[in-house]
Homo-oligomer: A and B are copies of this chain.
C-alpha cells in the first residue's frame, strides 16, 4: 500500500463501485475482475472505512451481495448503498406512492412501499421490462397526475454485457421526460445526494473520501 500513501493522505473512507469495477456481469452471473477480491480484502484490513456504492437496479441488495460473496468478495448487505433503498427513503419522506417500472429482480426492495393509487412513477433499468406497453402505462400514470413526479434510478446511457452493449435506464428516462414535458429526479449516481447518503452511512465527510 506504500504507493497509495500520498494519494490517500487525509482520506478516511473509500467508496467502491461494484459493476465493472469489482466484477463484470454476463452469463452465469459474471466474473470477478482480476485483483479486485484481494483489493477489497486489503482495504478492509486497512485503517480506511469501505462502502460499496452502486447504481445496480436490476437486482436487490440481497441478490447482489449473494453474487459478490460467491465470487469471493467480503461484503454484506449493510455495506451497500444502492438506488432502490435510497428511493424508498425518499418516497416515505414525501408520502409518495409509486407506479413501478422496474426489473422483477429489484421489486422486493419496494415490498414495504404502498403502491396503491400511485402519485408518482419510479423507473429503473428494467431490461426487457421496457416494453411499449409498460412504457405507455408509466406515461399514462404521469399524464394523469396534476404534478407529475418521475424518479429514475440512475441515468446511465448503456452498459456492457458479454453479449454486447445494452440500453440502461437513462434513455427511457429521457423518453418519459420528453413525452410528459417534465424533468426526472435522478436517484443514484451521479446525484450528489446519493453520494452524500453513502458517506453518511459510512460516517465520513465528503473531503475525507476517495472513490
Contacts and interface: CB of A to CB of B under 8 A. Distances in A.
A157 interface: yes
A140 B164 contact: yes
Nearest to A130: B132
A165 B143 contact: yes
Contact of A139 (B126, B158, B178, B179): B158
A170 B180 CA distance: 11
A126 B132 CA distance: 9
A127 interface: yes
A157 B171 contact: no
A190 to B, nearest CB: 15
Contact of A133 (B128, B170, B178): B128
Given A127-B132, A129-B132, A132-B131, A175 B171 contact: yes
Given A175-B174, A175-B175, A139 B127 contact: no
A106 B165 CA distance: 28
A8 interface: no
Contact of A176 (B168, B171, B179): B171
Interface of A: 126-133, 135-136, 139-140, 143, 157-158, 164-168, 170-172, 174-181
